[in-house]
Structure 1
Amino acid sequence: MKKQWILAVAALLSLASCGSYKKLTYLQDMEVLTTYDVKEQPNVLIGVNDKLRIVVTCQEPTLAAPFNLSTGVFSVNPETGESVTKLSSEAESGYVVDNNGYIDFPVIGLVKAEGLTLEGLREDLIDKIIETKYIKDPIVLVEFMNFQFTVLGEANPGNYNVPNGHINLLEALALAGDLKPSAKRDDVWVIRTENGQRMVYSVDMRSKDLFESPAFNIQQNDIIYVKPLKSVKDADATKRSSVITTVISALSTVSSITLAFVYAGVIGSR
């Protein structure tokens, strides 16, 4: 009789935990040790009105100074003997791509930026700096200053910057502190504006299909809206279910261990 009672309790605990698990778990239809095709992340191209941070350095920082927006302040670290460059606020103002797709770069002049990747522009600048014969070994950093996305709703709302322009939806939500227990996981919106038109993509975070969504790779100025559950009551219930799931999991473990002892003959039936 005791064996049947333990089996019944274990089954009930398993069913109760299953409902809460499905509400909160990502990628429920993925399987362990199963391979899935991966789409290559598209290149992010520089566009008109993009704002770029470009810093040129080399082994002799004073030689690189003319190629920066400001000469900056140069000093030597007394402990290591290395040169340290601190750029002024003028340098941090960045380069804005004009309506013709160019940036006005010190010494070199106009440089085409529109339509290039960050790496493409970096390599182009290195070649042009070497051509000036000022520097033989320039090191060039190129980053976006205005590539950002916005998160609203049941996460940590805010604007988030992505200097390299590469981030996917899972990474974006992780950056925003992950979804709250009160979030609606099967209908996360990504609102995107392209060519003067606004499109809304709905993504189910519980399914592997999110990897196939056009919204998986976040684009500049995307808005991620995380909907709340239908009511405050549902949200509170989900929060409670999270706690209950933890308790149920512990009880389920205890019952499983007890059941193992029963079958091993350690605990006899009476």
Structure 2
Amino acid sequence: MTLTNILNIRLVYLLCALMVATSCKSKKDIVYFQNVKDFETIVDTETFEPRFKINDIVSIYVSTFNLEATRPFNLVKNTGSTGQEIDYLVDMDGNIDYPVLGKIKLLGLTVEEAKELLKEKLSKDYLKDPVINIRILNFRVTVAGEVRTPGVYVVSGERITILEALGLAGDLTIKGRRDNVLVVRDFAGTKTYTRVDLTSKELFNSPVYYLTQNDYIYVEPNNSAISGASGDLRIGTIISITSFILTTTLIFVTRK
């Protein structure tokens, strides 16, 4: 075997070692719920319910046996041949402007609490045994960062977990940091920042395990992703330097 072949083989081994060193990823960094034991049971005692926030869009429908009596409380806007129910916006003071009743403060109430409040007000002077249906129409969450499909996701119901939201986004990429996922939450102008560890079962006890409308989830890049951003440049530099050294050595040995 010639000296040139020996040097080329050594160069290949060196490059392979560099690639392994820069791409190696520990299983501990990517596996979820690592401290959950076999057959362990975790009972969900959480009675989470979303609460109304400023700028929420709310749908309210009132029904009784007397349909005519409920008409003033179920306003519609004409959209061609059919009517569409009017939605209500929770204003900056936390109120909606509801027909007949006027301003009603919903900020901070759960859906069930809002139903009871409206039922009480309507039963007092206007309707007998009204049934109230209320929905939050703008329940959506944003997932960004190192996930497969970042974006804004509309939630059909009114309850979603952080795991379900990440599932909608296609889960974390291999470059996503799983032990420091950030959830940004806004309530009445006050923002809270909470970090959760997906590798621990303590996630289930987190106050952000259940998301609220307009929560923002950010998955930051892990060390391999950060180093990978400049890794190509470093590897290219190393290759150039190594090639120069080997070439210089070859020329020196050949001349001797």
Shorter-chain TM-score tier: 0.5 to 0.7
Question: What residue is the counterpart of 2:59 in the other structure?
Answer: 53
Change (3 A) 1:99 1:147: same
Q: What is the aligned counterpart of 2:144 among 135, 149, 152?
A: 152
Question: What residue is the counterpart of 2:40 in the other structure?
Answer: 34
Distance 2:119 2:208 in 1: 34
The amino acid across from 1:203 in the alignment is: V
Answer yes or no: is the 8 Å Cα contact 1:185–1:204 preserved in 2. yes
Answer yes or no: is the 8 Å Cα contact 2:175–2:225 preserved in 1. no
Deviation at 1:124, TM superposition (A): 2.1
Question: What residue is the counterpart of 1:202 in the other structure?
Answer: 195
1:168-207 equivalences in 2 (<5 Å)? 168-193=161-186, 198-207=191-200
Deviation at 1:121, TM superposition (A): 0.9
RMSD: 3.6
Number of residue equivalences: 202
Structure 1: runs of 5+ lacking an equivalent: 1-18, 76-85, 236-270
Answer yes or no: is the 8 Å Cα contact 1:144–1:162 preserved in 2. no
Identical positions, percent: 38
Task: With the length of structure 2 as denominator, give the TM-score of the two structures.
Answer: 0.62
Answer yes or no: is the 8 Å Cα contact 1:143–1:163 preserved in 2. no
Give the number of the structure whose alpha-carbon radius of gyration is greater: 2
Distance 2:61 2:185 in 1: 31
Distance 1:141 1:30 in 2: 40
User: Which of 226-235 and 147-156 deviates more?
Assistant: 226-235
Question: What residue is the counterpart of 1:10 in the other structure?
Answer: none
Task: With the length of structure 1 as denominator, give the TM-score of the two structures.
Answer: 0.59
Deviation at 1:223, TM superposition (A): 1.4
Answer yes or no: is the 8 Å Cα contact 2:175–2:221 preserved in 1. yes
Question: What residue is the counterpart of 1:231 in the other structure?
Answer: 225
